[in-house]
A and B are shown apart, each in its own frame.
Chain A
């Protein structure tokens, strides 16, 4: 009997969460344990369910826009971009080039902010306390730019259907470039702290492996997929909002373990800086709002539009019946789908690895539960 331990213990059921510091919100994981070894997990989610999709059916297209910020609240701008693009697709319009460039800049800045929060909390879970302070310090600068641009730091409501409402403020370009210059050395600093640290490596290497085939099978996207060796990024595969104009690489790694996902995200932050620099250098002049009426009323039909959010593929499937309110808005949340693979990643591992794996999946419970 290979499964029986020398104590011949029976299976132990352990509740992790919903109030557990390393589940990043209100996630409850029921662990079935044999000693330290995990025999199976079950996620209990829904504590943060607010019925966003139902709310959408009762709001006009423009009114629903602020609500999407509240799904993945650490990457609110990405959510907004996805929603605006989806409705623009329904209306069959495109935002003007200037708006697109500004959108790209802010979305990439938001990607950095999201990854920084991930890095800080992930490192904190593993036991490295220093990075979280540094990460939040850098994130603060990004949030300050959001605040200056649109008046809010977290739930920004930065974009409008058809373009932008806010013109850039004076010194926007300067702020972004200053941020880029200041931020890049910081990434090196984090790497100095973590990449070679033996505890960090020991806790992450070969933990929570998800191969490329498993990723596809589970629908897992984003950095998790790229760490498994699939060079797939929606910004390149199906460019939106003018991403085809910018030069950047898709960082990939081969092992698909937690350590690789860490490295991929670190590289992604550098690539985001690269995109921002190019975009700032070439913000075209022109209007920022497309030809959209005051009443947004797409023709009868449906569309699915997805973007590469910091966590993976974020999609909006919108059905319109020709009214001012969407008939149905379905959000395809990356966190929700990625979380599904948790069971596969931790089966047979140790309890401490669950913490590492939840951290590396980079879930936001607001998006899992919507």
Chain B
């Protein structure tokens, strides 16, 4: 009998519709208006790499130890250095980072002994060319500059 009533009055369908109706309320809007509103990513987000510079004197923090390059599973970091005869220290000359092959695992960041290399909260890494994905030292120090979206 109950089954029959269920069948006639479609209770199961209305039960489902009621759930849908409950969720109609505008306060349940979850859509992100992405380019207009940039989402705030978490503090630990692993995004665009950055080579930190010392804010006091503008020199790079990197000591060219090559540990990040050794740690990277994809071998995509190339560090070149030169020995400065005056200070008898290795100095960074070039640093390339191929973001197209990077999987943002963070192993390079962990390996860096002086926190020079860091994966930042920037996530807009798209470029129009493959070459644009290979970042050099200057780009790494300044960070990506995506064109801001205008609507």
Contact = CB atoms under 8 A, between A and B. Distances in A.
Question: CB atoms of A and B under 8 A apart anywhere in the complex?
Answer: yes
Interface of A: 59, 62-67, 70, 130, 134, 137, 140, 144, 147-152, 155, 157, 165-166, 169, 189, 192-194, 196-198
A148 B121 CA distance: 12
Contact of B71 (A63, A134, A157): A63
Contacts, number: 67
Given A66-B73, A192-B19, A169 B12 contact: no
A193 B45 contact: no
B86 interface: no
Given A63-B71, A63-B73, A152 B16 contact: no
B41 A66 contact: no
B56 interface: no
B16 A155 contact: no
A203 to B, nearest CB: 14
A137 B41 CA distance: 17
**Chain B residues touching A, range:** 20 to 34
What 6 pairs between A and B have smallest CB-CB spacing?
A66-B105, A151-B44, A63-B73, A151-B46, A148-B42, A147-B42
Chain B at the A interface: SS class = loop
A140 B30 contact: yes
Given A63-B107, A165-B110, A192-B19, A147 B45 contact: yes
Most chain A CB within 10 A, of B43, B71, B72, B105, is at B105
A150 B44 contact: yes
B104 A152 contact: yes
Nearest to B103: A66
A67 B73 contact: yes
Contacts of A196: 12, 15
B93 interface: no
Given A63-B73, A151-B44, 11 more contacts: A66-B107, A134-B23, A147-B41, A147-B45, A149-B44, A151-B46, A152-B45, A155-B104, A157-B107, A193-B16, A197-B12
A189 B21 CA distance: 12
A338 to B, nearest CB: 27
B63 interface: no
Nearest to B11: A196
B106 interface: yes
